[in-house]
Amino acid sequence: MADQPAGPANWGGSPSRELNEARFQKLFDEAEAMSIQGYYPDGTVVYWNHASEKVYGYTAQEALGANLLDLIIPPALRRQAEQGMRCMFETGQGVPPGRLTLRHKDGHTVPVYSSHTIVTVPGQVPVLFCMDSDMSELDRAEAELRVAATAFESQQGMIITDAQGVILRVNESFSRATGYAAQECVGQTPRLLRSDRHTPDFYARMWRSLLATGHWQGELWNRRKGGEVYAVWATICAVTDDAGRVTHYVGTQTDMTQRKEAEARILHLAFYDPLTRLPNRRLLLDRLQHAAVASLRNQCVGALLFLDLDHFKTLNDTLGHDLGDLLLQQVAERLTRASGDNATVARLGGDEFVVMLEDLSPTQEDAATQAEALGETLLDSLNQVYRLQGHEYVGSVSIGITLFSSQETSVDALMKQADLAMYDAKAAGRNTLRFFDPEMQEAVTLRAALVNGLREGLRERQFRLFYQPQVDSGGRLVGVEALVRWQCPVRGLVLPAEFIPVAEETGFILPLGQWVLEAACTQLAAWAARPESAHLSLAVNVSVRQFCRADFVASLVATLARTGADPRRLKLELTESLLVEDVSDISAKMSALKELGLGLVLDDFGTGYSSLSYLRRLPLDQLKIDRSFVHDLLFDPNSVAIAQTIIVLGQTMGLAVLAEGVETAGQRDLLAGLGCHLYQGYLFGQPMPLEEFARLVQQTEGHSTGLHPHRAERHQQFGPTQTPMLADQCLGFLEGQ
Ligand code: C2E
Ligand code: CA
Ligand code: CA
């Protein structure tokens, strides 16, 4: 340092000047906020005060003698710095003060506000003094302020009050949401926004929480300047000073109107039918639940009206779904209007509606009368002409009604009751109403038990075939009809009249019919192996449903193949109801069956609607005169006329004619006189189990007349008793439906 040119540290001068200089020197050295450096024209550092050490990271020792450009000028600024210095030394003037971004020893940038002075002492090398104040802190603070200001103008409404709750500031969003301009709020308290949706207690709790925890948040109903009440999600925070005293409160609020609307929309979707805007099933069940409980408590009666539009599907199919929807909407309107304010009108889906009435008269009779009156009104209102985009449509509805009152019934059960009653109304010819009655329920329950029993019966092999002989006029056994029986372990022997109709309705007839065919074919095959029974033909009843299945012929072929039965010995008994189906399809099936060699019989003939022209197109072999005509033959000339017509018809068409239900010799003789020579009936034998039938065959073998009791012997070898059938396969057939 001794060789260094004279710098600020050794300025010459008088003692008083020296004193001054010493003072300045100390001032410069220790100026906290001002970094001061001195440079020679070539950039050599000749002065480096304490603050410079802090701002730039170099100690005075490191800095003195080094070059400015290497120390604190970022490479990109070097040329500019050199030029600036040259210019200052040439002119003896500092460049105007301004912002510079310089470099710290560890590489980071240092924002400074820099002023420059050239100090020229004659005979001495001029020195450039730079005085920099570090702007880092200031910049940071400014940035923070900018962030705070931006944040304050966020989407949320913000409000700042003093410790007393007097509003100091609000932001734009707040003004937008509340309708109050900033100047209208400042000086007021947030009470300005209070709605009457909250009790004083609510605000008291809010303050207690604020004072205790410095914080509160929750849903608030505020009032806008225009008077409208709206929901916000609000947060309030207390701002405290170092001593923990509250100085301000900052409140934010988010408008929840949209969210509330969305919530309402979702709620609406969940509980209302979008097409008609009526309550949906879920909401109805909920209200019904409440109504049922209330009626239990208040000892009053309510009613459930279950409505189903008649022939809605036809409208939908013919006029299209748009018009169908239109109709449903108009029905909904009419129902709502006609039912009054106290009723709940709901749409269950499709064309099903429910009207629920509460608080009817306390006695069942009066309540029923009221419900019926509304039912009639609804029938009438829904009967009026609908205008559907230019189409005039007349519709009707079937209504089932059930009452609910003090006795406890589940909501599900009530709905079922009303539904059942509605079906009853449909069965009664539609466009009418019916009340639920417990007997109906009973019948339904019994029916369900019966269906289950039947299925189990098939699995457990409880079905049997009985055989009823068919004879010719000489009393010779020419054939046999297989008639199914259910040997139920609980009910005993059940006749087909009790279960065939239910089996038809439920589709159980399909597996059952398949079982009958299998069993009959198995039996035929067994008979074929014995000379005394080889000539027998076996007639089997086939239900329309079974016959109409597309795979009926194929499945019959398979059954024949499986059992080895001769198709020429098998007859199928079909009823006239078949002929309302697609006749060309039926006729094709029949032809296919005839090709196989099967016989086709038209059963119960005369009771149906057979059109003669159809009859001619079908490849039939036999007509069976229904037993009802045979029964009346001896006292009803009409029945005689019918029987006669059938016989003549058969003769002209080349069909055999058999009379069933022949119970007396008188009937038989009369039929013989009319030209009918085939009979079946109690006169010749009731339907009987296989063993009994086997005995009969043995007795009549070679004889021309019927029953000879003295020859009744057991012939175990006659044939297998009820065979193996394949109940599982038949049920599989059922599951396949
Ligand atoms: P259906 O085919 O007309 O059978 C004749 C019915 O008349 C039988 O009743 C038989 O017992 C009865 N019957 C026979 N002779 C006389 C008589 O002299 N007087 C009187 N009053 N009745 C007589 P069942 O066995 O109770 O069968 C009733 C109906 O059930 C049958 O009428 C038939 O439609 C149906 N059915 C029976 N077995 C089957 C079957 O395996 N499949 C299908 N699909 N239906 C069957
Ligand atoms: Ca029959
Ligand atoms: Ca019959």
Quote the tokens at residue 208.
């207690």
Q: Tell me, using a 6 A CB cutoff, whether residue 603 lines ligand 1.
A: yes
Whose Cα sits closest to atom 37 in ligand 1? 483
Distance 121 CA to ligand 2 centre (A): 142
Mutate to test the pocket of ligand 1, among 471, 541, 574, 605 (most ligand atoms within 8 A of CB): 541
Q: Structural domains in the chain? A: 15-136 (3.30.450.20), 153-261 (3.30.450.20), 272-436 (3.30.70.270), 457-613+677-735 (3.20.20.450)
For β-strands 622-625 and 599-605, DSSP reports them as parallel
The C-alpha atoms of residue 94 and residue 104 are separated, in whole angstroms, by 23
CA-atom Rg of the chain in angstroms? 53
State the DSSP H helix or E strand holding residue 434, giving kind and residue range, or none if neither.
strand 433-435
Contact between 422 and 431 under an 8 Å Cβ cutoff? The reply is: no
Length of the chain: 737
Residues around ligand 3, an ion, CB closer than 5 A? 603-604
In this structure, what DSSP letter does residue 356 have?
E
Q: Which atom of ligand 1 is nearest to the CA of 604?
A: 3
Helices (H), 569-636: 583-596, 612-617, 627-632
Per the CB < 8 A criterion, the answer to whether 282 and 347 are in contact is no
State whether the beta carbon of 495 lies less than 6 angstroms from ligand 1: yes
Q: How far apart are CA 651 and CA 603, in angstroms?
A: 17
Task: Point out the ligand nearest to the CA of residue 632.
Answer: 1
Confirm or reject: Cβ of 514 under 6 Å from ligand 1: no
In this prediction, residue 14 carries a pLDDT of 56
Query: In whole angstroms, what is the distance from residue 356 CA to residue 373 CA?
Result: 14
Task: Note whether 602 and 622 are within 8 A (CB).
Answer: yes
**DSSP letter string over 98-161?**
EEEEEE-TTS-EEEEEEEEEEE--TTS--EEEEEEEE-HHHHHHHHHHHHHHHHHTSSSEEEEE
Nearest residue (by CA) to ligand 1, atom 12, is 661
- pLDDT of res. 610: 60
In whole angstroms, how far apart are CA 314 and each of 223, 349, 668?
55, 17, 50
Q: Which ligand is nearest to the CA of 500?
A: 1
Q: Please, are residues 489 and 704 in contact by the beta-carbon 8 Å criterion?
A: no
Spans in the chain with pLDDT lower than 50? 1-12, 703-727, 729-737
CB distance 190 to ligand 1 below 6 Å:
no
Q: What pLDDT score was predicted for residue 609? A: 62
Which atom of ligand 1 lies nearest, measured to the CA of 513?
42
Which of 500, 545, 546, 730 for mutating ligand 1's site (highest number of atoms within 8 Å of CB)? 500
Distance CA 226, CA 179 (A): 7
Q: Report helix, strand or coil for 468.
A: strand
Q: Kindly state if the Cβ of 681 falls inside 6 Å of ligand 1.
A: yes
Query: 718: helix, coil or strand?
Result: helix
261 CA to centre of own chain: 23
Ligand 1 atom 41: the closest Cα is on which residue?
A: 484
Q: Is the CB of 606 under 6 A from ligand 1?
A: no
**CB of residue 687 inside a 6 A radius of ligand 1:** yes
d(CA 632, CA 629): 5
Report the pLDDT value the prediction gives residue 727, as an integer from 0 to 100: 46
pLDDT confidence of residue 406 = 64
pLDDT score, position 523: 96
Q: Hey, how many other C-beta atoms are within 10 angstroms of the C-beta on 476?
A: 16
Is the full-model pTM beyond 0.75?
no
Q: Among all ligands shown, which has an atom nearest to the Cα of 624?
A: 3
Span 483-515, pLDDT tens digits: 999 999 999 999 999 999 989 988 999 999 999
In whole angstroms, what separates CA 428 from the centre of its chain? 33
The 10s digit of each residue's pLDDT in 73-100 is 999 999 999 999 999 999 988 888 999 9
The minimum-distance atom of ligand 1 relative to the CA of 466 is 25
Residue among 133, 117, 136 at smallest CA distance from 49: 133
Q: Is the CB of 494 under 6 A from ligand 1?
A: no
Helix (H, G, I), strand (E, B) or coil at 219: strand
Q: By the 8 A CB rule, do 37 and 45 touch? A: yes
Could you write out the DSSP letters of every residue in 658-699? EEE---SHHHHHHHHHHT--EEESTTT---B-HHHHHHHHHH
The torsion region of residue 125 among left (phi > 0), alpha (psi -120 to 50) and beta comes to: beta
Coil, strand or helix at 42 = coil
246/210 Cα distance (integer angstroms)? 11
Dihedral angle sign, alpha carbons of residues 685, 689, 691, 693 = positive
Q: How far is the CA of 508 from the centre of ligand 2 (A)?
A: 18
Closest CA to ligand 1's atom 17: 661
CA of 671 to the centre of ligand 3 (A): 16
